[in-house]
Structure 1
């Protein structure tokens, strides 16, 4: 497939707005590049990982007429006074393989490694999760996923039940099983996430220990010893009673996908049911965790 790349020079203050606008205008993907052309992978709403002068790169199908796109971008207040950009045709590449080249094995905590399914595990005797995320979120490269993986590695999950709320690629659910959990339920609103989770569970030889559901299909009254929800602050706020009800009395909960400035509001909400530990922070992101009273 042929592509057109639109590259705009931006500042830390304008990059997020430009990125959002490019997606609204039909970009298939948006990447932030620093002055040395180093890509920022897996950006999420609210995330800014910039190094001063920043280029925002939108990738469009080659059939897209770029003139209206350029005109719409010129209407942005952030670009009204100065808009430096370059439009270029890209050679036809296997972009999935290009991404695969940059996904490497990563260690979390003492025992746990997340390994791309197409690479060899660096420590065969460690707790290795073989992962192919497909179209679902969750590779371990994002701080919110890393915070949750490290938390799971620090728990004694032997014979425990676990719910992964918003399971995505299944990375947290499968890690919990590999770390000793007896059975795990994965919940997600995206059918593609359930497919990715099931495929990755089979790849890791744990498919019999993972059951996945869309919310409308999940059994009533599910409760677990451990619940992890790596989503975003809005759903964590709105679904607080639902998520909290999934945790058994005395059970453990971890919440991530929230920025540092969102932590206190979420702490106040979940503090109604949980004794929460100090906030764990990585970059702009954080994790709340605690025990249900």
Structure 2
């Protein structure tokens, strides 16, 4: 069997209509892809972020006994969406649910410190190898902000310490902390899929007994009154600034922290938001624009 793919490039506002149109024409699946290499991180509550320009792809089964009339299909779509950029291609049959795995390779974070897709063998068997199932949640190590956080954890003494992974995504940072010797990790994310992915990746790496993860409301009930030694948060500049006071209650005095998901132009504003309770000691940059801000919580006033 062959498969026909129809790729339509549209503005964000046209995505819903395009998805509906392709589905109504018998697509067995419809996917969305970035048309302009635009980065997206975790959404804020209630948001469903999309790229500004999106490639909407419909996949159609081409039966050997009944060919699809591609010309007629293209003409119908063009009539519904005049002037739209449309491209078609035929693909040979393959195991689609596993073909995406070909794009992942082990990523070296530091000396004897790797991220390894679960279906591959570690390059160094005796290294700290984070086995990862890249799923729907953000955090595979490929993005600069995730890499910066992993790098910082590898350079920070987390042995026998309590670590918070705030905005955990795939759970990669919390898992890394435990593999690097942390005693306990408390993780949270606003996305239920991220909570599930974190649990699965903790089990995959044999650290689930020492990792607690849940949505923010339950997380805060568990962590209340138990300040952590280390906090890492890989989210976005806006949420990071709004969370500065809350993070001050989650980290013990002299406890270390790292913030990522910040572009270079936002570093000054984020740093200012944390200046009251935190001492910032370093700013690191990767891939030209993505930055990590790190330091420690200042000593608590006597009134605390």
- The TM-score bracket by the shorter chain reads 0.7 to 0.9
1:49-64 equivalences in 2 (<5 Å):
57-60=55-58
Q: 1:29 aligns with which of 29, 32, 35?
A: 32
Larger Rg: 2
Cross-structure match for 1:78: none
1:224-239 equivalences in 2 (<5 Å):
224-239=228-243
Cross-structure match for 1:281: 285
- Distance change (3 Å), C-alpha of 1:2 and 1:251: farther
- In the alignment, the residues of structure 1 paired with residue 41 and residue 171 of structure 2 have an alpha-carbon distance, to the nearest angstrom, of 21
- In the alignment, the residues of structure 2 paired with residue 126 and residue 61 of structure 1 have an alpha-carbon distance, to the nearest angstrom, of 41
- Distance change (3 Å), C-alpha of 1:138 and 1:94: farther
- CA shift digits 1:10-61 (9 cap, x unpaired): xxxxxxxx6645656547321448xxxxxx6x93269xxxxxxxx9643246
- In the alignment, the residues of structure 2 paired with residue 87 and residue 70 of structure 1 have an alpha-carbon distance, to the nearest angstrom, of 16
- In the alignment, the residues of structure 2 paired with residue 98 and residue 22 of structure 1 have an alpha-carbon distance, to the nearest angstrom, of 28
Cross-structure match for 1:168: 169
- CA shift digits 1:125-148 (9 cap, x unpaired): 000110003221111000010000
- In the alignment, the residues of structure 1 paired with residue 280 and residue 14 of structure 2 have an alpha-carbon distance, to the nearest angstrom, of 39
Cross-structure match for 2:267: 263
Cross-structure match for 2:215: 214
- In the alignment, the residues of structure 2 paired with residue 158 and residue 122 of structure 1 have an alpha-carbon distance, to the nearest angstrom, of 24
1:72-83 equivalences in 2 (<5 Å):
none
* 2:166 and 2:189 in contact (8 A); partners too: yes
Cα displacement (A) at 1:240: 2.2
* 2:231 and 2:256 in contact (8 A); partners too: yes
SS at match of 2:157: coil
* 1:223 and 1:247 in contact (8 A); partners too: yes
* 2:114 and 2:129 in contact (8 A); partners too: yes
* 1:224 and 1:246 in contact (8 A); partners too: yes
- In the alignment, the residues of structure 1 paired with residue 250 and residue 4 of structure 2 have an alpha-carbon distance, to the nearest angstrom, of 45
Q: How does the TM-score come out when normalised to structure 2? A: 0.75
Name the Cα RMSD after superposition: 3.0
* 2:15 and 2:54 in contact (8 A); partners too: no
* 1:5 and 1:57 in contact (8 A); partners too: no
* 1:184 and 1:211 in contact (8 A); partners too: yes
Higher mean C-alpha displacement, 58-67 vs 119-128: 58-67
SS at match of 2:170: coil
SS at match of 2:282: coil
Cross-structure match for 1:246: 250
Which structure 2 residue ranges, 5 or more long, are not aligned? 20-29, 43-52, 62-72, 299-304
1:75-154 equivalences in 2 (<5 Å):
85-88=86-89, 94-154=95-155
- In the alignment, the residues of structure 2 paired with residue 102 and residue 30 of structure 1 have an alpha-carbon distance, to the nearest angstrom, of 15
- Distance change (3 Å), C-alpha of 1:136 and 1:23: farther
* 1:201 and 1:210 in contact (8 A); partners too: yes
Q: How does the TM-score come out when normalised to structure 1? A: 0.78
Cross-structure match for 1:80: none
